Structure 1
Amino acid sequence: MDRPELGLQQLHAFTVLAEELHFGRAAERLGIAQPPLSQQIRRLEVKVGHPLFTRGPGRVALTPAGNELLPAALRALDEVAVGLDAARRVGSGAAGRIRIGFSASLALTLLPGLLSAHRDRCPGVDLEIREMTTAPQVTALREHVIDIGLLREPPDEPGLSTETILSEEFVVVLPAAHPLAARRVVPVEALADEPLVLLPRSAGPTVHSRILDLCHDAGFEPRLGQQAVEWQTVCALVEAGLGVSLAPASIRRIRLTGVAYRRIEPNTARTTVAMAWRHDDRNPLVSRFLETVRGAS
């Protein structure tokens, strides 16, 4: 059996007339003349197959069929209103879900403030956070697994837009008992005989190369030791005495009692953090998050 298609305009006219029980007052509330209102009610009655109102001189009343339809009509109009509001909120970027990738070191610096600012600005948006290094973030953006990447040293990747939000210096990470930890500033060349604990090149090619360039500029070929895919693990390996590391300054927030962080000399190299997104992404949730980041930078 085919279901009748009831127009929202007709249902709205029906509910207003059911409240007023007067064609003149109902037409005034609806902002239309009485004849168009009467036509809408008659069309609805044709679809129902029965009169919805009894009409008499100066008197309008709901029929049993009208009484039966009224609660359903009110529910339908309310559900549509709720749906329209939800659609508007999602369309404006005020509601929905956004997936954000982030480099682990940002959890110690930028990330908490950015997430807090965006939750204050868009409380209806669900934030899905995924920790991953730079290369996996680029892949996840290409494959639509995440919507925004907060990553270190983003590559020049076709189809992605990037914007730098932070530039920071490098520091040396030393075991607390290491002789160089007694210095306030450590010359990079003093690390020539030390095994370097680093992230693998595959996790962040640019920052990996930048660290090696620091060593080359200081006149030595670094001794590459253990590798770890997260900076916290790098620091733990240094604490265990497996080597030293050169790392972004933000990792100084990783508090390990057996680790010392010192500035380096020369102190000219920088590592950048950027946000990245698909340049053809028209998702308003992405635009709103980019605005939050720009406002906080």
Structure 2
Amino acid sequence: MEFRHLRYFLALAEELHFGRAAQRLAISQPPLSVAIQQLEASVGARLFDRDSKGVRLTPAGEAFRGSAQALLDRAEDACALAREVQAGEVGRLRLGFVGSTLFNGLSAWLQVFQASHPKVEVIVIELNSQDQIDALLAEELDLGLVHTDRLPPALASQPLYSEPFLACLPAGHPLASLEQIPLASLSDQPFILFSRKGSPDYHARIVEICRQHGFYPRLQHEGRHWLSVVSLVSQGLGVSIVPAAFRQAGVQGAVFRPLAEAIEASAVFAAWRRDSASVLRARFLTNRASKA
């Protein structure tokens, strides 16, 4: 049985006339007759009575008609779904993100994308950069927003944006009254840094920033998320150097000041598997670029 047999059957069931059904199907009458005979042989039942009075559905044909229509409808739905998936109009996107992106337009980005792609399910998961890299390699994420482009060979990346680093201090800290913070003034302060395990590259970059300005940070605590770092600072447990986005986090007790020296900015990159050709991922990234 082929889908064309079902289409021919349904056309004849509606027209109850071989000539009109053939014309409707844009075929000649003999192929239609042969197809109906093949269908009846495949089903194992006579679907039409044919005599000098015309063509009529048999009880078996009446019973078959609803199922035949349902099969064709499901086939068309399946075809439509496949086309939508290929076009990036439907599906699922598993998105990892670092916390700073929440304060750099991620929510608005998601809202705009969902409005233009209502059939796409976007699953967002906050993970530090290293956990996202591991999840991408394990095919547990489709796209990651990370703080590093130093990635395994299996992953590709593109830059999204950058922002300055700021000094993060407890509100009552003596240096908090300064408009700018010289890096050297932090040399004797207890530091709270992003976890080395959470993002080895990011941890190393901040240590290197300090080294370039004459000191190694006196590490007191580590956090696996930047908000944890800022929260520890707000409780007076140390100072830190954090991406500027966290000024908008609203953490009481933490203040942010520009650094007096010009240093390399904090960058966010999109990362994905090189062997993954995802239309949804491409559409998501293009959507952000169009709104940038």
Structure 2 length as normaliser, TM-score?
0.95
1:163 is matched with 158
Query: Does 1:43 find its partner at 2:38?
Result: yes
1:125-172 residue CA offsets vs partner (Å, 9 max, x unmatched)? 111111111111111111111111111123132111100001111001
State the Cα distance separating 1:266 from its structure 2 match: 0.5
2:285 is matched with 290
1:268 is matched with 263
Long gaps (5+) in structure 2: none
State the Cα distance separating 1:268 from its structure 2 match: 2.7
1:176 is matched with 171
Query: Does 1:152 find its partner at 2:163?
Result: no
State the Cα distance separating 1:58 from its structure 2 match: 6.4
- Contact persistence 1:153–1:271 (CA under 8 A): no
Cα separation, 2, equivalents of 1:224 and 1:96:
45
2:135 is matched with 140
Query: Does 1:69 find its partner at 2:73?
Result: no
Cα separation, 2, equivalents of 1:224 and 1:240:
16
> 1:223 corresponds to which letter in structure 2?
R
1:217 is matched with 212
1:1-297 equivalences in 2 (<5 Å):
6-57=1-52, 59-297=54-292
Cα separation, 1, equivalents of 2:136 and 2:181:
38
Indicate the percent of aligned positions where both proteins have the same amino acid: 38
1:209-268 residue CA offsets vs partner (Å, 9 max, x unmatched)? 221222122222221111111111111111111111101111111112211111111123
User: How many residues in Structure 1 have an aligned counterpart in Structure 2?
Assistant: 292
Cα separation, 1, equivalents of 2:255 and 2:281:
39
RMSD, aligned α-carbons: 1.5
- Contact persistence 2:209–2:263 (CA under 8 A): no
Cα separation, 2, equivalents of 1:170 and 1:50:
77
> 2:59 corresponds to which letter in structure 1?
P
State the SS of the aligned residue for 1:50: coil
Structure 1 length as normaliser, TM-score?
0.94
1:3 is matched with none
State the Cα distance separating 1:59 from its structure 2 match: 2.0
Cα separation, 2, equivalents of 1:222 and 1:65:
84
Q: Which moved more, 1:128-137 or 1:45-54?
A: 45-54
Cα separation, 2, equivalents of 1:295 and 1:280:
25
